[in-house]
Amino acid sequence: MAYHTRSNSFPSRPHPLIQEVDEHLRRLRSSKATSTSSSSISNRLNSLQDLLDCVDRLLQLQGTQQALAQKQQQKWANELLDGSLHLLDICSTAKDALSQTKESVQDLQSLIQRNRGDETGFTSVVRKYLSSRKIVKKSIHKAMGNLKGMEKKFPLSSTNKDQQTITIVSKLRDVEAVTVTVIESVLAFISGPKSKPRNWSLVSKIVQSKRIACDEEEIVNEFAEVDAALKSLKSAENSQNQLKNLELCIQDQEEGIECLFRQMINTRVSLLNILSH
């Protein structure tokens, strides 16, 4: 990867890219309080992509490269590199979960069409779908548990004379933490609530009350809706709309996750290039 150097060092005041990173971080942190609907998840993924694009530009600065390439700062640089690998792994989990669920949804839709009126066949297909969902949720639960190990960091000594390096590493750690939070919200959305109502009428009432309570954003978890609907419905007649909505939701999330994954690869490549010089 070619370097596009813009300055030999950081000025005495924060570099504009540092300030830009701070602004992106502020926006993403403030979005933590919003509901985890499909639209809010998509918005956060887009904002995270903008943040990582800014980070990659920051990593192209000669001042950043010189700071991270110092031998005495090797442990911090390696820590960031390890973190980038963990982030790619957890992002892959989200990609796989979406892909597997979409495949199950499409299979379910196809089989419902072919076996319309066959209640026995419908029950068998639903069981297969719900079994697939259990596998997805188990994978997500394991992945989220593995994220806990990323919390351990080498201390950033305030007495270190190289304040520039400390600032850069600290900022990149903040980016990593926010990235983890966003991907966790995606995984939690795919997994759905831990406890769900047993009948669809109750789900509908809850969803409707939430829609009324929140004028700015529609709070709907398409994954949870389909799970609850398929567990309670006695026929396929009323499941088609939920399945179609879920398929569209998955397609939207897949696009965001795929773009994020490519951006995270770019960031990791930039870090590898810095450490190899």
136-146: pLDDT as tens digits = 999 999 988 87
Domain ranges of the chain: 16-148+160-275
Q: Is there a contact between 275 and 65 (Cβ–Cβ < 8 Å)? A: no
Check: CB of residue 17 under 8 Å from CB of residue 50: no
Q: Which two tokens stand for residue 135?
A: 């596998």
Cβ atoms of residues 67 and 168 within 8 Å: yes
pLDDT at 9: 47
Taken in order 146, 147, 148, 149, the sign of the CA dihedral is positive
- Contact yes or no for 192/223 (Cβ under 8 A): yes
Entry field: residues in the chain: 277
Identify which of 94, 264, 57 has the alpha carbon closest to the alpha carbon of residue 176: 264
User: 228 CB contacts (<8 Å, ≥6 apart)?
Assistant: 196, 197, 198, 199, 200, 203
The helix, strand and coil proportions of the chain, stated in percent and rounded to the nearest 5, come to 80, 0, 20
pTM of the model: 0.79
Among the listed residues 134, 98, 63, the one whose alpha carbon sits nearest the alpha carbon of residue 248: 98
Give dist(CA 213, CA 208) in Å, integer. Answer: 9
Residues of the chain with pLDDT under 70: 1-14, 32-36, 116-120, 149-161, 194-220, 233-238
Helix axes 62-69, 38-59, angle to 10 degrees: 80
Q: How far is the CA of 54 from the CAs of 67, 221, 262, 266, in angstroms?
A: 18, 31, 14, 12
In the prediction, which pLDDT does 136 show? Answer: 94
Identity of the amino acid at 26: R
pLDDT, residue 164, reads 78
